[in-house]
């Protein structure tokens, strides 16, 4: 398996994403864009890219913080708040990563998915709302709110979100608003709710951060990964 860091720039900021691909396989394979959690491009995101590459996908984990750094807790919201308030800027960052993924010679550019974790899930959903040519979008414990719900009519992909029932950051009201948005947009969507799971259920280090409501949940991590792969079988076809 081939892995490499890919540097790119947007608005004079240097970003460094992570590519994973098995170059011993034939070309024309599905590509998966991975949007990391809020603190930055972590080993967890890289391991997801590696796992997908081992299955035959071409995976690119973008960097939306810059320099592939991990933000300390006290800087996290300072950096994320402007993005949370700017869906168009969030889409630009995501689109730059998509362009890098599509440019890989092994990728079938007509079979692309975007997945994301935490705010990365929000970014993946914003790419869908932007009308990007995606087959599938998956959010894991992702923020569902947007300042531009009317853009759901532009969604071309099928949408899957996996949310913990005990997640205080994605309350029932936000889920209900998302459901209404998807219905109004005529989207092919699904939302799975997992009992016993809080925010960050896919990250083995989540519990160590010391934030209430942020906790790894191994059963839900495993279940949602399987659900995603089934969704890929349906939307992306043969690897």
Which residue is listed with tokens 């990391």? Answer: 36
Contact 59, 53 (CB under 8 A): yes
This prediction's pTM = 0.96
Contact 134, 112 (CB under 8 A): yes
Mean predicted confidence (pLDDT) in 228-235: 98
Mean pLDDT of all residues in the chain? 95
Domain ranges of the chain: 2-235
In this predicted model, what pLDDT tens digit does every residue of 72-130 receive, in sequence order? 777 777 788 888 889 999 999 999 999 999 999 999 999 999 999 999 999 999 999 99
Sequential DSSP letters for 104-160: STTEEEEEEEEEEETHHHHHHHHHHHTT---SEEEEES-----S-GGGGGG--SEEE
In this predicted model, what pLDDT tens digit does every residue of 37-47 receive, in sequence order? 988 899 999 99
SS3 content of the chain, % helix, strand, coil (to 5): 40, 25, 35
CATH superfamily ID and name for 2-235: Alpha/Beta hydrolase fold, catalytic domain (3.40.50.1820)
Cβ-based neighbour number of residue 220 at 10 Å = 23
Phi, psi of 115 (to 5 degrees): -125, 155
């Amino acid at each position: 398996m081939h892995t490499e860091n890919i540097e790119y720039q947007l608005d004079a900021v240097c970003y460094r994403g992570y590519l994973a691909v098995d170059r011993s396989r034939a070309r024309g394979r599905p590509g998966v864009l991975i949007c990391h959690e809020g603190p930055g491009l972590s080993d967890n995101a890289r391991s997801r890219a590696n796992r997908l590459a081992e299955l035959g996908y071409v995976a690119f984990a973008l960097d939306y913080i810059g320099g592939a750094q991990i933000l300390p807790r006290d800087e996290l919201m300072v950096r994320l708040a402007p993005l949370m308030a700017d869906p168009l800027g969030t889409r630009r960052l995501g689109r730059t990563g998509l362009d890098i993924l599509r440019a890989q010679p092994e990728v079938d550019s007509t079979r692309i998915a975007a997945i994301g974790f935490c705010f990365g899930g929000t970014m993946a959903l914003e790419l869908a709302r932007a009308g990007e040519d995606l087959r599938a979008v998956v959010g894991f414990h992702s923020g569902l709110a947007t300042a531009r719900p009317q853009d759901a009519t532009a969604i071309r992909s099928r949408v899957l979100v996996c949310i913990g029932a005990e997640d205080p950051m994605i309350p029932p009201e936000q889920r209900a608003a998302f459901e209404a948005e998807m219905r109004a947009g005529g989207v092919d969507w699904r939302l799975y709710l997992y009992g016993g799971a809080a925010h960050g259920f896919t990250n083995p280090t989540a519990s160590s951060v010391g934030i209430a409501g942020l906790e790894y949940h191994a059963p839900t991590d495993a279940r949602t990964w399987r659900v995603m792969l089934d969704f890929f079988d349906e939307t992306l076809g043969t690897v």
